Amino acid sequence: MSTEIKRIAVFTSGGDAPGMNAAIRAVVRASIYYDKEVFAVYRGYEGMIDNDIVPLDARSVGNIIQRGGTILKSARSKEFRTPEGRQKAYENLKERNIDALVAIGGDGTFTGLHKFYQEFNIPVICIPGTIDNDLPGTDYTIGYDTATNTAVEAIDKIRDTALSHNRLFFIEVMGRDSGYIAINSGIAGGAIAAIIPEEKMTTDELIEMLDKSDKRSSLVVVAEGGKSGSAMEIAKQVNERFSYYDTKVTILGHLQRGGSPTYFDRVLASKMGIAAVEGLIQGKTDVMVGVRNHQIVYNDFETTMNKEREIDPELLRIAKILSI
């Protein structure tokens, strides 16, 4: 950490998230602003092993801030899980005198980065890019704001049909380990209930809610992969026992990942990209950038990975009041 960083490489890894390109742009421009050379590694750890690494300049990242996905592409790498793979990756970086890494991704990305740091002692910083908002140490991850808006826009469209036909719709949204997209899109979409992984809701409870309500059409938002079952399973159980509504299911799926990022995700990603470069310059390593109460923080690996990101109980309380 005593030696000055001169050459930074940036890459994206794991599932893509809207705003990743804004983060890449910020890393590149901040690097140049601080007179560092900057390189792109394509296809995450896979490209690091395959030596898919190219230098970038300020114009390389022009006209990308508004684009979904990641221009650096992302991939899973089995080889990076082996010591040989990581050694190869390290040698490719060394060959170009790259002396620091910025990774953009979720917890899997940070875990790989942590291991790499431990083995080769190269400064590394992770930027949280995942739509799930499931990382402790930051109020928001990049992509979450956009994905929630995408879910809400889809729910708004489905509501048109629900209202036109007096139907009950079950809408499955993303968030296998975190109910943030589900609870917020449920509140914003005017759903009667949001079923999240953090809380079991029984069919009895749900039917009681539907039964008490005098709404002529209703929406239930379900986070995929939760312990209460999939949207399809829950719908089936409700349908068997509660016949007031004509019941339908829609699974939003991958369309929640893409799309042009919101201003919020673009600004968040811009802040975090700059903070990653400035963190490296200040000698930080093995940390994940976060934003807590509007301030940049740097979370070490243990803090980030050993805690659970908990759902805000206030959101559950609000959802209940509004569903009357």
Active site residues: 132
Within 10 angstroms of residue 154's Cβ, the number of other Cβ atoms is 18
**Residues in the chain, overall count:** 324
Judged by CB, which is closer to its own copies: 16, or 99?
16
Kindly report the backbone phi and psi dihedral angles of residue 10, in degrees, each rounded to the nearest multiple of 5, phi listed first: -120, 145
Positions 206 through 225 that interact with its own copies (CB under 8 A): 214-215
Positions 34 through 93 that interact with its own copies (CB under 8 A): 58-59, 62-63, 65-70, 73-75
- Taking CB under 8 A as the binding criterion, the range among 3-11, 24-32, 93-101, 115-123 that sits at the site for its own copies is 24-32
Judged by CB, which is closer to its own copies: 241, or 294?
294
Sheet harboring 100-105: ordered strands across?
53-56, 37-41, 7-12, 100-105, 124-128, 287-292, 295-300
- Residue with tokens 């092993």, as numbered in its chain: 49
Q: In the numeric block, which tokens belong to residue 261? A: 């990022």
Q: How far is the CB of 235 from its own copies (least distance, A)?
A: 13
Within 10 angstroms of residue 264's Cβ, the number of other Cβ atoms is 16
- Interface pick for its own copies out of 8, 9, 11, 12 (rule CB under 8 A): 12
Sheet harboring 193-195: ordered strands across?
193-195, 218-223, 167-173, 246-251
If one asks whether residue 32 binds its own copies (CB under 8 A), the answer comes out as: yes
Q: In the numeric block, which tokens belong to residue 310? A: 């908990």
The per-residue DSSP string of 137-172 comes to T-S--BTHHHHHHHHHHHHHHHHHHHHHHTEEEEEE
- Interface pick for its own copies out of 86, 114, 159, 284 (rule CB under 8 A): 159
If one asks whether residue 294 binds its own copies (CB under 8 A), the answer comes out as: yes
User: Would you list which residues are annotated within the binding site?
Assistant: 15, 25-29, 76-77, 106-109, 130-132, 159, 167, 174-176, 215-217, 224, 248, 254-257
Environment class of residue 281 by beta-carbon count within 10 Å: exposed (0-12), middle (13-18) or buried (19+)? middle
User: Would you list which residues are annotated within the binding site for substrate?
Assistant: 130-132, 167, 174-176, 224, 248, 254-257
- Taking CB under 8 A as the binding criterion, the range among 3-11, 81-89, 156-164, 279-287 that sits at the site for its own copies is 156-164
- Interface pick for its own copies out of 90, 229, 242, 267 (rule CB under 8 A): 267
If one asks whether residue 157 binds its own copies (CB under 8 A), the answer comes out as: yes
Closest CA to 43 of 22, 79, 71: 71
Lay out the site mask for its own copies across 87-126 (x = CB under 8 A, - = otherwise): ----------------------------------------
If one asks whether residue 243 binds its own copies (CB under 8 A), the answer comes out as: no
> Which ranges in 180-289 belong to alpha helices (H)?
180-188, 203-212, 231-241, 263-281
If one asks whether residue 293 binds its own copies (CB under 8 A), the answer comes out as: yes
If one asks whether residue 150 binds its own copies (CB under 8 A), the answer comes out as: yes
Judged by CB, which is closer to its own copies: 109, or 122?
109
Judged by CB, which is closer to its own copies: 225, or 253?
253
The per-residue DSSP string of 163-183 comes to HHHTEEEEEEES-SS--HHHH
Helix H or strand E encompassing 39: strand 37-41
Q: How far is the CB of 214 from its own copies (least distance, A)?
A: 7
Q: How far is the CB of 95 from its own copies (least distance, A)?
A: 25
Positions 165 through 194 that interact with its own copies (CB under 8 A): 165-166, 169, 184-185, 187-190
In the chain, how many H helices and how many E strands?
A: 11, 11
